[in-house]
A and B are shown apart, each in its own frame.
Chain A
Amino acid sequence: KNEVEQSPQNLTAQEGEFITINCSYSVGISALHWLQQHPGGGIVSLFMLSSGKKKHGRLIATINIQEKHSSLHITASHPRDSAVYICAAPLDDTGNQFYFGTGTSLTVIP
């Protein structure tokens, strides 16, 4: 069993749709990371959050520490949002190493 599990694994949406990606984890953590990986392989850190909700542009991330669950939402999706979204939970309090989810591959169709 993976310490971090994501769903769905693959997601196809029409441009403009509201998208939700879910992440559940079994380890005790103080913060969770959401990462975006484009087809070329580069990874960008989107959010690091420890409680509540964070918003950046059309991206919203929420976390419920008690339920060990986080969601990443994309409003008004666009083809350029097509990427793999990965959630990552720190192994320990140092925040140096992570359990990574296997990612959700998102394709947004024009």
Chain B
Amino acid sequence: EAGVAQSPRYKIIEKRQSVAFWCNPISGHATLYWYQQILGQGPKLLIQFQNNGVVDDSQLPKDRFSAERLKGVDSTLKIQPAKLEDSAVYLCASSPVSGRQPQHFGDGTRLSIL
């Protein structure tokens, strides 16, 4: 079974620039999550999708972050404009509809803001 695919693996940008991350979940997984993991901390949920609808985006900084999952499969997470404190690993995860199954994580995108 193919895992959760994320790209790019690494990204370096200057502050105030824009960046986008892409995630392709495991086939058939209806639930998709984006996490932000700052160095030394556990992952923090940014947004959760169920198919193409948003279930929870309460911790998403909506003034600069946006995410979409238009066809209920792939998802993109965008930051515009980036700030220094956005330097982190951005993890995508997916799980089957039931939600009680373990989440499957991608390898993450490591973002560095200069």
Given A41-B91, A42-B106, A42-B108, residue A95 in contact with residue B43 (CB < 8 A): no
* Tier of interface size on chain A: 20 to 34
Number of chain B residues close to chain A: CB under 8 A: 29
Considering the complex, give the chain B residue whose CB is closest to the CB of A47.
B102
Given A97-B56, A103-B42, residue A43 in contact with residue B105 (CB < 8 A): yes
The A-contacting residues of B in range 21-68, CB under 8 angstroms, are 31, 33, 37, 40-45, 48, 55-56
The A-contacting residues of B in range 59-94, CB under 8 angstroms, are 89, 91, 93
Give Cα distance in the complex from A96 to B89, angstroms: 20
Give Cα distance in the complex from A85 to B106, angstroms: 16
Decide if A40 is an interface residue (CB 8 Å cutoff). yes
User: Are A41 and B42 interface neighbours, CB within 8 A?
Assistant: no
The B-contacting residues of A in range 3-54, CB under 8 angstroms, are 4, 31, 33, 35, 40-45, 48
Give Cα distance in the complex from A43 to B37, angstroms: 11
Decide if A94 is an interface residue (CB 8 Å cutoff). yes
Give Cα distance in the complex from A95 to B103, angstroms: 9
Pick 29 A–B contacts, CB within 8 A, sort by A: A33-B102, A35-B105, A40-B9, A40-B107, A40-B108, A41-B37, A41-B91, A41-B107, A41-B108, A41-B110, A42-B105, A42-B108, A43-B108, A45-B105, A48-B102, A94-B100, A95-B100, A96-B31, A96-B99, A97-B33, A97-B45, A97-B56, A98-B45, A98-B103, A100-B43, A100-B44, A101-B42, A102-B40, A102-B42
